[in-house]
Amino acid sequence: MVSLPPSLQKQVSVMSMNLSAKLDELQRGDRQLETTVALCEIRTQLQELTKSVESCQSEVSEVKRDMVTIKQELDTVQQVKEEIEELREYVNRLEEHSHRRKLRLLEQGLTLFLSYAILAAVLGMLQFGYNTGVINAPEVNIENFMKDVYKDRYGEDISDDSVKTLYSVAVSIFAIGGMVGGFSGGTIANRFGRKGGLLLNNVLGIVGACLMGFTKLAESYEMLFFGRFIIGVNCGLNTSLVPMYISEIAPLNLRGGLGTVNQLAVTVGLLVSQVLGIEQILGTNEGWPVLLGLAICPAILQLLLLPVCPESPRYLLITKQWEEEARKALRRLRASNQVEEDIEEMRAEERAQQAESTISMTELICSPTLRAPLVIGVVMQLSQQLSGINAVFYYSTNLFTSSGLTDESAKFATIGIGAIMVCMTLVSIPLMDRTGRRTLHLYGLGGMFIFSIFITISFLIKEFFGYVQEMIDWMSYISVVSTLCFVVFFAVGPGSIPWMITAELFSQGPRPAAMSIAVLVNWMANFLVGIGFPSMKSSLENYTFLPFSAFLAIFWIFTYKKVPETKNKTFEEILALFRHGNDRSSLRDSRLYGEEELATNSSKETVLSDATTANHTHATDKL
């Protein structure tokens, strides 16, 4: 039974007392009141009392309606809670299934056919390494050739400064071609596929090598420039297509190590070019055109080996929607019929990036979600080129000669750089999936910073104590050792990680556009270093490496604060990391599925809880 409100109870009590008093007066007859008047007053008060009672009944009815509404809302809340529990159970099952799938992916090993496919693909990076280093050793021979051609044409000698400028053009135009090739890599990859693009690219490799090889026969250094440009386009496409292809065919647990094979191929190409470039082999006035023309070998070899390899399964499944073809490719690469885990992982990646499936470069740059990984990819590429390593690759012979070494010793020291690069890249392959990309990159940048300072110190001491022959000899060795250590730390991290991590940071849709932008930036920085280092060396002299030291410090800080660890993470997980704001704690603890759904359901539960509380309060006030 519902009790009356206190105000109504008080009103009824007062009226009851008034009625009792009136009746008593009538009975006592103390006053001479008219009976009719008294009864009218009583009737009026009874009417007021009736109205109050009716008002009370109305309020009680309203309270009853509120109680019914509250009960309905409580039933709705209970139903939503049950649905939330069902969703949680479903998410937990998905998470458990995803965890088991990832464990199975991490158990995959290196198969014979996968090794063959990677070997065939990285010939493109060997081409890049060979043409980066091949121009170094025969510098004097090429300059003499330019002088002879100029004199035959114009009947007068060309100045030494002009020859140096022409040689710088021969060096740097390779990077301009690389920009063109790198920027068009995403378009080629989407239109012809990763494997198809690599096969077509070898036509450019053959044309460029032939142009360089017949330069002396044609007595045209313009042919050398054009050949270097064409081979640069070829290498630019390779630097975009090869890391993309390898990252897409590699098993999850081997992606870091196999991605490092890119850099191993680059270092092998560098070493081969340096060994062949010594005077005892092809570093002569007659042999240098052959040395440049040998760039045809990796192109022909890849044309022979690559057709046997399958197209990227990710490209077949996600871009072309050819699931059966993707399964066939995976069966060959994994040497197993059990490829469902890989298919599921690709499907998950496809679902995660469906909104970006046809993304262009402009959309990539404007996308808030993808802006952070794009900035990281670009800065990682800059950390490779602006570290000063290409100054060593392009001008190491000249650098060692200015340090006090003889010409022959300088060339052998340059070969030592190539050998160390190969050895340290081999060392970094198992470390990549054990230590992690971010850690190795930090070690690499830190070591390069320290030894770039040592190189500067050795130059300064050589100048201050140049009159002491023993000091010159000693500082020459310090300079060489510092340069070699500089190269060692480059091979540990910045040599291979930027190529690999750019492909890892993006899912299938935006990956080609991201690779195009990153590779374009890499080649632009390559060009700036190639064309600007001689002038910088003339202006700064002994302080030549200090700008590189400053850049290395900046890149180390950026890597420490912004770059996530991608070791053993699926492409979908990496994409989810940036959607959660690139916070490192969320990077470690992120789930493959369900975080956004759980957050939404939790918010819904909170809103309903607040609504229930408000309704209870409202009902209590009325009661």
Q: What is the DSSP string of 22-67?
A: HHHHHHHT-S---HHHHHHHHHHHHHHHHHHHHHHHHHHHHHHHHH
Q: Which residues, given as ranges, of the chain have pLDDT below 50? A: 1-2, 30, 582-623
Let me know: does 220 contact 198? Beta carbons within 8 Å: no
Q: Tokens 């081997």 map to which residue?
A: 254
What pLDDT does residue 23 have? 63
In this structure, the number of other CB atoms found within 10 A of the CB of residue 524 comes to 19
Q: Please report, rounded to a whole number, the percentage of residues in the chain having pLDDT higher than 90.
A: 29
In this structure, the number of other CB atoms found within 10 A of the CB of residue 327 comes to 18
What pTM was computed for the model? 0.70
- Nearest-Å Rg of the Cα atoms of the chain is 39
Q: Where are the alpha helices (DSSP H) in 107-138?
A: 112-133
Let me know: does 596 contact 79? Beta carbons within 8 Å: no
Q: Give CA–CA dist 3/178, Å, rounded.
A: 89
Q: What is the DSSP string of 359-384?
A: --HHHHHH-HHHHHHHHHHHHHHHHH
What pLDDT does residue 503 have? 77
Q: Tokens 């090869």 map to which residue?
A: 242
Dihedral angle computed from the Cα positions of residues 269, 271, 277 and 280, in that order, rounded to the nearest 10 degrees: -130
What pLDDT does residue 466 have? 55
What pLDDT does residue 199 have? 96
Residue type, 126: L
* pLDDT tens digits for range 568-595: 777 667 777 776 654 443 333 333 333 3
Long-range contacts made by residues 90-94, C-beta under 8 angstroms, separation at least 24? 91/593, 91/594, 91/597, 91/598, 94/592, 94/593, 94/594
User: Residue 319 has what DSSP assignment?
Assistant: I
Let me know: does 204 contact 188? Beta carbons within 8 Å: no
User: Around 450, how many Cα atoms within 13 Å sit in the side-chain half-sphere?
Assistant: 11
Q: Give CA–CA dist 118/114, Å, rounded.
A: 6
